[in-house]
Amino acid sequence: MNSKMSPPFSLSLCLVLFIWHCWAQTPADSGYAQQFRTLGINYRTLGDNLPSPTDAVAAIKTMKFGRVKIFNPNEKILTALANTGIEVVVAVPNEQIVEVGASPSAANAWVQQHVAAYYPATIIVVILVGNEIFTGTIFQSTWTSLVPAIQNLHAALESLGWSGQIKISTAVALDVLTSSFPPSAGSFRSDIATHIIQPLLTFLTTTSSYLFVNVYPFLTCSSSSDISLSYAMFANSTNDVVDGVLTYTNLMDAQLDAVYAASFKLGFASLRIAVGETGWPTAGDPTQVHAPIDNAAVYNRRLVRKALSTTQIGTPSRPGFIIPSYIFALFNENLKPGAGSERNWGLLYPNLSQVYALDLTGQLSDSQNSPSSDSSPLVSGSGT
């Protein structure tokens, strides 16, 4: 990466128009509620040694997360979240998208079984239809069913009078983009841009929903020698990226603005984004040199400070717009396949002790706390 690279004039002009349009629509006029529960946690269960949902939810409350995102409509987890005040994002598994997209009655049944049975005691605020279905080809057969599934679920919510309280979206990885550098060059892949992404973004903007984007600076930094560790970890450095009239001091902002730029090129300048997943692993394979625990602690602490800041809201191209963000993940998961880092993203060990301390007030600096050596659990375990 050439840290001082500027885009061609046409891209710079496009970016200036993009910024002007976004500033013309202030957050107060956008139809989106101000998010006071900005930070959330991803709660996955790919482990054979994890605590009960009751104990896990108690730990989430102790850590003071305002939102939790789960990857399937787990009955025990949804029940444990009832009457906690925690807002919940629940997902339609990838394998169910085709069925829900093909049949309004199937969508109605899904809402009745996985939403109506718990809501409003369990404060479900978002239904995500699938997770990263555009990554690879394993779920390619579901692509054309995505928007119909979203529309069918929305109709089911409308029939219950809940479409204003429960939003619907999907979660995508950054590989939906064919270009992301410089950020103003962001564009969606040609195989999905027109017939899938465009109607998806139409729905999201019409219903004031968010596109959930999973953003992992650790993975980008690990795969590219052109990206510095400091740039990936929100550190002020000499590696800033200059793109037209904008300067980027961290990789996440640049990646999010690439998605914004891609959306703008399809005609959606007012699209809102949520960070569905982000985080940093605490261990990995010997070749994963950026994975030590200190890096994870620093990354997530800086992420918290950025998310809760009252002066650094949004990104360079979309200043002032709150971006709800969900840290990955609650637990280390010993059954997750892949590289060593895949099993070490958790804030907690399965015994509920902290992997490292994380201050969700956003008030502490990097030097005020260090990775936790305290092995005491956040809550008393009641067994699984």
- The predicted-structure confidence for 141-160, as pLDDT tens digits, reads as follows 999 999 999 999 999 999 99
* 220, pLDDT greater than 50: yes
pLDDT for 239 equals 74
Q: How many CB atoms lie within 10 A of CB 212?
A: 24
Q: Choose the catalytic residue: 75, 132, 158, 342.
A: 132
**Could you give the percent of the chain with pLDDT greater than 90?**
71
Question: Mean pLDDT, to the nearest integer, of 247-255?
Answer: 95
Beta strands in 71-197 (DSSP E): 87-92, 123-131, 167-173, 177-179, 187-188
pLDDT for 370 equals 53
Length reported for the chain: 384
Comparison of pLDDT for 129 and 287, the residue scoring more: 129
What element of type H or E holds 146? helix 146-160
pLDDT category at 4 given cuts 50, 70, 90 is: very low
Residue 132: active-site member: yes
Please name the residue that has the structure tokens 């128009």: 17
Q: Choose the catalytic residue: 95, 277, 333, 342.
A: 277
Helix ranges restricted to H, 161-208: 198-206
* 15, pLDDT greater than 60: no
Distance CA 135, CA 50 (A): 28
pLDDT category at 379 given cuts 50, 70, 90 is: low
pLDDT for 383 equals 38
Q: What is the pLDDT of residues 31-51, one digit of tens each?
A: 555 555 578 999 999 999 999
Contact status, residue 378 vs residue 357, Cβ threshold 8 Å: no
Q: Which fold has domain 39-366?
A: TIM Barrel (3.20.20)
- The encoded tokens of residue 319 equal 């200043």
pLDDT category at 9 given cuts 50, 70, 90 is: very low
Question: Mean pLDDT, to the nearest integer, of 330-339?
Answer: 93
Buried b (16+ CB within 10 A) or exposed e, 349-383: bbebebbbbbbbebeeeeeeeeeeeeeebbbebee
pLDDT for 235 equals 86
Distance CA 280, CA 291 (A): 7
